[in-house]
Structure 1
């Protein structure tokens, strides 16, 4: 169970491990380099496809016209404080206009205005079939015309583009067509029909508004007449006579004077005057001996008093010189008495007049008081009646105000002139000189971007699908094994010849691997080691021979055992006979030395697989294999075993327990990580010691791996010196 879980985790997390254990740039660079030809092929194909589509696409021409849409108030009644709230109305208005500009009804008007279904240029540009109406009759012809109308309308809706200019009331109207003349003609007709339709809608709304106002005016007229009749009738019943009225700025009655109020005001003034006169007359009577102002101001009385004063003065002068009995003095005294009596008579007459004036003033005062009290009672009664009177008056004022406002609006609403049009053409459409699409450079750039995106998606999909071991460093990162080295992929032919060429990359690679082997144990290169792989043909046999050959050239006595009895390859690789070998010994022959043959190389001896047994696993499970390795260890410095592959067979785990350790061979870009990990798990379950792994058949042209520096290739060492 644990082994299965471990294997699944290794496969699922391989991509994450790769990215975590190395720089992202390095990882992506390796991926790109590995798929470079696929990337170039995809990008090239997409770019060529884009170029072909561009060259084969019919050129499209876009003509543009610009208009200004002004917002008009739509207040039918035009009565103060009756308008709708303006907040948000502007956005609603322009959104509505944009929708009207894109409406199907407007497109149909343009089709009919330009007679596009019969326009040869339009029919040719959009592929209409040329059929004469004479070939179709009755309902069929009408249906065909309707179908062409719908088709043309759909074409116009597909080619029109309404683009409001942000932050303004300007709108660009663009139409795209294969014909530049058609594009300009349709764009201009679109504006024309939109303007005409807008005027028609406004005229229609005006007619509806006039009809509405006529009805409202009739109702208000009847209501006003009734209100005025009620007011007059009530005033007549209550004897309320209005002399004048004050009105405010809106024409409403603010203060109204009645006849009773006016009379009371006049009588109050007269009463005040009469009371003042009575008080003055009475005060003169109360003060004894006081002469009234009228008497003092009388000329005759004044002359008498002046004459009296003069006579008394003359008498006083005579008394200074003469006695009272003097004749002239007597005459003056007599005159004085006469004047005094005359003045007394005159003052008495004036006193009698003052009494008469007082009585008259008092009587007049009482009369006026009685009248004022009577008018007060009448006015109080009228004030109570005027409450309902004022209600009638306000009803009349309100109805008259609304009636006058609607009547004024009714007079104005019918006047809709050209100056009231809220659609203004800023720029008219002209036939474009260059096509708007396709643009070759832009399409090629987009194709390049699309090709790059498709290539990236493809290679990363392949990267996720392909779970084979590609990078030799994955041996350590993913499998957890020591990487002993890598061998390059040969160009073909006999790999043994490449091994014999001491300067070849293959020979140098195995020399580097042998160097790594010398550090595996405390006694250097392991005494006995088995080479195995996941499946056949991964290079294990060649690797076993190459390392055995290098060890023999270094002066060590080496035995190479071909333990792959199901598919032996060492004998054919070295060109020797395979008549007797390992199978003979395991079958019961005690003398293994008789089966040892020379390889043609000094210090290198071969024990071939021998005849194929019917059940190799049964032979390998015996103790004779371990005894053989032990006995040969007494005669040889190193024993190299070319074992069978692990998957599907029980042979390799049986052999691994006989050797000191296992060297696992992995062919690059072949086996999936899960299969490799499963094979390694089987070896470990057999208590095998795995020294490490080496990767074979690596494409040295992939410079991203840097084999020359990382793994010891290209040293340029002389082979003799290496040996």
Structure 2
């Protein structure tokens, strides 16, 4: 009876036997991007809270210290205006008076410096000290002559104060068009409520006066000139249109489609004859295409190829059924003779299907000749009708020469008449001195300050704080180069993740390892399962566990992997190769009088060095006495000899190796094992340090089986496990 291994542990049954496939599967388990952002927020939450609180405090202080500002607003309506009423006979383009250009011009006029100067002169703001005080400006600070109280202003000072007043008006006024309307709001802001209202109203009044000053008055001479021209053009237009209609009726020209060209001319696109010819010509083209297609099908049929049969759904379905029956028949022929009942039944089905296919193909082929004769006759009839209409079309084209002459004359007269008539209407409606600007609302003295607004400033401060916090969090997150979650292992190191080990926190990691139901044991059981996928023969028989630096959980991982392998019924030997800081004898409660260092120094009987640990299937080869130079002992071939001998007596060998950086022990040990398990602490060593350690292993052609991420807290991973046990030198047992 064959002995089978459990399906969960067999790499052959799993279907995933390569390290690359395992890495792809782990990469597909990456958490959503929003969850990754949430983890970053949790990691730097106090930094974010501090920055946001600081921004809110700054916004609050700035708001309380700011001078209250009052905004007064007046509203006007600007009606559409045609300014150049005497523009006759198309001397300028019609686009000159479009709404967009007109209103944009009005908005720019409202912001013109000349308008601000009119307001300053109207309200005498250059000599009003209250105006400058309302803006927190001292106009006499830069006085050329050192102006003093009670003395009259010089010409240079008045000019300077007027220029300063204009600049202040520019800075504190705003023009706000109301979307999709002809209304415009004119607002002014200062520290004085009454002054703001006064300036807003004066701005509106001066804009109306300035607009009226620019108007052009229509004259009686222009009206009389337009009337005489209209009477003459009306007579000419009537005559040209009458001649056009009479000629079209005499020559039988029936216009079905008329369009205007870019220059405003009327063009006849389609007549009754051209429309009929176009329809018949289109039908002839379709009939010719149908005849060619039918003729092609007949020739292909005569040549032995039947494309319709290939495209016929019934024939395709019969052929598909025949292929299925033929496949079943071929399978039976592998095991049985043709006389087998099931085989005979399938053979009969094949015969029936072949006959059905033949009948259907004959039926499709029989309709080709009839279809071709009908298409040929229809094409000949249409050709005859098209030739007849061509003769009528040629005659009509010659008649259209004179028709177009009449049409152009009528268009010219109509264009001149319409242009003059439009100008005449504009003069009659607009009149003289009509104002297109109306005041809708005058500015009232504001009762409450418009700024500063505490809720708005706090909201802006909050947004600014969140923005600064986001930048700071991004910068800090980029500076933090340690592995923060399992998804980064394959992406940054290009090595599969064997497992994520939870943080033991305040609990004893050794006690959790002895409990098969603990989270720590379950995590290392997952590591053992993934190790089964790292080679084509399952879990490697000999492996080394190492890390970049001490206190990353390397020794605990060595013990845990060996313990989990022993629980599965395997005979496992755990070798403490960290002769500089041995700890396995402390973990298992065994003495350390002799061990690996004795064998490497020349002792040949390794059996007397192996100790029973009391754990199922687990034996221990302690480190032994600390040698003067561990690297010198490991540089010999005795370690390779020892591993080869031990593999004859044990199913698996797990070696607890010293860290890589700064020591030569781990690369020397890598020569003697089948693969290396690399332990990395979450948020521990920077990624570049881990890559350096892996580079040292790769330089000695070591096979890195994967990475075990330790000391992982749940807030880091967002799912799965975290881990927290380390490697320590000296008396520290957490290594």
Q: Give the TM-score of the pair, scaled to structure 2.
A: 0.54
Partner of 2:147: 136
SS at match of 1:88: helix
Partner of 1:184: 197
| Cα distance in 1, alignment partners of residues 522 and 229 from structure 2 | 117
Change (3 A) 1:521 1:427: closer
Partner of 2:55: 49
Partner of 1:173: 186
Task: Report the alpha carbon displacement of residue 577 of structure 1 after superposing the two structures with TM.
Answer: 7.2
Task: Report the alpha carbon displacement of residue 184 of structure 1 after superposing the two structures with TM.
Answer: 1.4
SS at match of 2:714: coil
Structure 1 unaligned spans of 5+: 1-15, 214-246, 252-415, 712-723
Partner of 2:637: 623
More displaced, 106-115 or 451-460? Answer: 451-460
* 1:656 paired to 2:670: yes
Change (3 A) 1:654 1:89: same
Is the 8 Å Cα contact of residues 70 and 191 (structure 2) preserved in structure 1? yes
Change (3 A) 1:515 1:167: closer
Is the 8 Å Cα contact of residues 27 and 487 (structure 2) preserved in structure 1? no
Partner of 1:103: 112
Alignment of 1:368-407 (within 5 A): none
Partner of 2:405: none
| Cα distance in 1, alignment partners of residues 146 and 496 from structure 2 | 88
| Cα distance in 1, alignment partners of residues 118 and 461 from structure 2 | 40
Partner of 1:163: 176
| Cα distance in 1, alignment partners of residues 488 and 120 from structure 2 | 69
| Cα distance in 2, alignment partners of residues 431 and 97 from structure 1 | 26
Deviations along 1:446-484, whole A, 9 cap, x unmatched?
555555555555555666665543332444566555543
Task: Report the alpha carbon displacement of residue 680 of structure 1 after superposing the two structures with TM.
Answer: 3.9
SS at match of 2:555: helix
Deviations along 1:22-71, whole A, 9 cap, x unmatched?
57x72321332342353685377447625752643544433221234467
* 1:539 paired to 2:519: no
Change (3 A) 1:193 1:433: same
Change (3 A) 1:88 1:523: closer
Task: Report the alpha carbon displacement of residue 610 of structure 1 after superposing the two structures with TM.
Answer: 3.4
Alignment of 1:169-318 (within 5 A): 169-198=182-211
The match for 2:501 among 471, 487, 505 is 487
Change (3 A) 1:673 1:431: same
| Cα distance in 1, alignment partners of residues 539 and 681 from structure 2 | 23
| Cα distance in 2, alignment partners of residues 164 and 694 from structure 1 | 65
Alignment of 1:365-514 (within 5 A): 423-443=437-457, 468-475=482-489, 479=493, 481-492=495-506, 495-496=509-510, 498-499=512-513, 504-514=518-528
Deviations along 1:487-528, whole A, 9 cap, x unmatched?
212325764455456665334433554565577778875543
Between the two proteins, the alignment pairs up a number of residues equal to 488
* 1:611 paired to 2:626: yes
| Cα distance in 2, alignment partners of residues 577 and 155 from structure 1 | 91
Task: Report the alpha carbon displacement of residue 88 of structure 1 after superposing the two structures with TM.
Answer: 0.5
Structural RMSD (CA): 4.9
| Cα distance in 1, alignment partners of residues 184 and 67 from structure 2 | 28
Task: Report the alpha carbon displacement of residue 149 of structure 1 after superposing the two structures with TM.
Answer: 3.8
Deviations along 1:519-565, whole A, 9 cap, x unmatched?
77788755432101233332111211233355567786654323234
Q: Give the TM-score of the pair, scaled to structure 1.
A: 0.55
Is the 8 Å Cα contact of residues 27 and 491 (structure 2) preserved in structure 1? no
More displaced, 513-522 or 59-68? Answer: 513-522
The match for 1:88 among 68, 87, 96 is 96
| Cα distance in 2, alignment partners of residues 172 and 685 from structure 1 | 76
| Cα distance in 2, alignment partners of residues 642 and 20 from structure 1 | 28
Partner of 1:154: 167
SS at match of 1:194: helix
Partner of 2:41: 35
SS at match of 1:705: coil
Partner of 2:28: 21
Task: Report the alpha carbon displacement of residue 21 of structure 1 after superposing the two structures with TM.
Answer: 3.3
More displaced, 636-645 or 585-594? Answer: 585-594
Change (3 A) 1:472 1:465: same
| Cα distance in 2, alignment partners of residues 513 and 120 from structure 1 | 83
More displaced, 494-503 or 466-475? Answer: 494-503
Is the 8 Å Cα contact of residues 518 and 526 (structure 1) preserved in structure 2? yes
Is the 8 Å Cα contact of residues 578 and 611 (structure 1) preserved in structure 2? no
| Cα distance in 1, alignment partners of residues 471 and 26 from structure 2 | 17
| Cα distance in 2, alignment partners of residues 612 and 493 from structure 1 | 34
| Cα distance in 2, alignment partners of residues 637 and 87 from structure 1 | 93
* 1:61 paired to 2:75: no
Task: Report the alpha carbon displacement of residue 668 of structure 1 after superposing the two structures with TM.
Answer: 2.0
Change (3 A) 1:151 1:493: farther
Change (3 A) 1:598 1:123: farther
| Cα distance in 1, alignment partners of residues 532 and 231 from structure 2 | 117
Change (3 A) 1:162 1:467: same
More displaced, 436-445 or 120-129? Answer: 436-445
Larger-gyration structure (1/2):
1
Task: Report the alpha carbon displacement of residue 642 of structure 1 after superposing the two structures with TM.
Answer: 0.9
Deviations along 1:565-589, whole A, 9 cap, x unmatched?
4555546666877675434432334
Change (3 A) 1:37 1:477: closer
Is the 8 Å Cα contact of residues 75 and 442 (structure 2) preserved in structure 1? yes
More displaced, 695-704 or 446-455? Answer: 446-455
SS at match of 2:676: strand
| Cα distance in 1, alignment partners of residues 526 and 120 from structure 2 | 84
